[in-house]
């Protein structure tokens, strides 16, 4: 019997939206240096390169990271705790808000699963702070439907590292991984990671994952889902 379902966030609970990460750092740098275009351009490039390096390390070594570490890696001359950086961080955050809206099918689907007595959770690979994510989930009226949310920005490891999935299992109170389903859009991070710890896994293949982010896998999901609304039926007999 299944006891819990844990979801990926971006590209799963939130529909995929193509975004330009460099543009997000241009927003940050533009707020950091509003009167100096050259400095802003240089800062945006350094931040983008630092961000890419951190994501490459997450892909290859499964190490989690935070926005503060990206800023530190970029070796910007101004103080990361300054008012200018706070304004820049808000500009960066505002850039990404358009990609944070929960799929309209999520709330009714989650309600059905809760009515069955299943515990629900989130496990997301993200450098963003937990309060950002939970504010967006609250805005969309779904935060209260989850028993626990785990963000890699609070962990040493990110998906597909086993410790990330074990943190999610602990958070939803499931001791046997076979009694938990993980739902995600990435074959490597989500499906191979969940299956490696003994969880069942459902692939939501609707995200256009960049080539440099793809890692070949030799595992298959237990199910494939094209609409979140169909998940209760898919796992009804699991």
Q: Contact 107/145 with Cβ under 8 angstroms?
A: yes
Q: Which of 174, 170, 194 is nearest to 184 (CA)?
A: 194
* Average pLDDT by stretches of 10, the chain with 238 residues: 97 93 97 94 97 94 95 79 85 97 98 98 97 98 98 97 98 98 95 97 83 75 96 96
Q: How confident is the model at residue 217, as a pLDDT? A: 79
pTM: 0.93
- Tell me, rounded to whole angstroms, the distance of Cα 144 from its chain centroid: 18
Instruction: Output the pLDDT for position 214.
Output: 66
Partner residues linked to 121 by β-bridges: 6, 148
Gap between the Cα atoms of 173 and 117, Å rounded? 13
CA distance 186 to 12: 9
116: helix, strand or coil: coil
pLDDT for position 207: 64
In sequence order, the 6+-apart residues with CB closer than 8 A to the CB of 206 are 11, 15, 16, 185, 226
């Amino acid at each position: 019997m299944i006891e819990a379902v844990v979801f990926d966030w971006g590209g799963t609970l939130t529909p995929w939206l193509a975004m330009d990460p460099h543009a997000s750092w241009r927003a940050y740098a533009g707020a950091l240096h509003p009167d100096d275009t050259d400095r802003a351009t240089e800062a945006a490039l350094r931040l983008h390169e630092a961000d890419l390096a951190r994501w490459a390390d997450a892909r290859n070594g499964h190490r989690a990271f935070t926005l503060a570490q990206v800023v530190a890696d970029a070796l910007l001359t101004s103080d990361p705790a300054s008012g200018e950086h706070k304004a820049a961080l808000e500009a960066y955050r505002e850039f990404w808000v358009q990609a944070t809206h929960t799929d309209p099918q999520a709330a009714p689907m989650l309600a059905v699963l809760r009515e069955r007595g299943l515990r629900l959770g989130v496990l997301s690979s993200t450098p963003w702070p937990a309060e950002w994510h939970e504010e967006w989930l609250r805005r969309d009226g779904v935060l209260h439907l989850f028993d626990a949310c785990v963000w890699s920005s609070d962990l040493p490891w990110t998906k597909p590292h086993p410790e990330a999935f074990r943190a999610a299992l602990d958070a939803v109170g499931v001791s046997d991984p076979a009694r938990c389903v993980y739902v995600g859009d990435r074959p490597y991070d989500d499906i191979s990671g969940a299956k490696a710890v003994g969880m069942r896994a459902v692939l939501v293949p609707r995200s256009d994952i960049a080539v440099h982010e793809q890692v070949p896998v030799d595992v298959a999901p237990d199910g494939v889902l094209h609409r979140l609304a169909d998940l209760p039926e898919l796992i009804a007999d699991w």
